[in-house]
Amino acid sequence: MKIQIINGPNLNLLGTREPDIYGNSSFDAFLPELRAQYPDVEIEYYQSNIEGELIDRMQEVGFTADGIVLNAGAYTHTSIALHDCILSLACPVVEVHISNVHKREEFRRKSMIASACIGIIAGFGLHSYSLAIAGLLARNEPSADNG
């Protein structure tokens, strides 16, 4: 099983960026912990601040990976291009947020990508990524109802 994690703009600053909202850990520090949690899953990681680069990466992996865990950052709320990209891929995509976007500013309540994703996880800090992987794995279980 191969899962691609993709982080969008400003998520390279995790650990120093608004730590009261996003926590004190960088993603690089968290990644080994996540990989240890899922030893049988090949977890790849990519981050970019550039919308087109996120799309390029999704197109690169979206026909071979078993799933994509996408935190599109602020592009979540604006990007029709990411929405269209998700729809064009063969693999399922989970929308992830570290913070509970529904508890914050009004503009964060709107997601341009949610309707193209198989599910959404938000508000569990970095555990949101782990829960998204658990969701993708559960879909592959024989008893799964993927409705």
Could you tell me which residues are annotated as the binding site?
Answer: 71, 77, 84, 98-99, 108
Pairwise CA distance, residues 40 & 28, whole Å: 20
* 121: contact with ligand DQA by CB under 6 A: no
Of 146, 147, 133, 142, nearest in space to 45 by CA:
133
Residues 6+ apart with CB under 8 A from 137: 1, 38, 41
Pick 74 or 87: Cβ nearer ligand DQA: 74
The token duo for 70 is 């996408």
* 101: contact with ligand DQA by CB under 6 A: yes
* 97: contact with ligand DQA by CB under 6 A: yes
* 78: contact with ligand DQA by CB under 6 A: no
Binding site for ligand DQA (CB under 6 A): 10, 71, 73-74, 76, 97-99, 101, 108
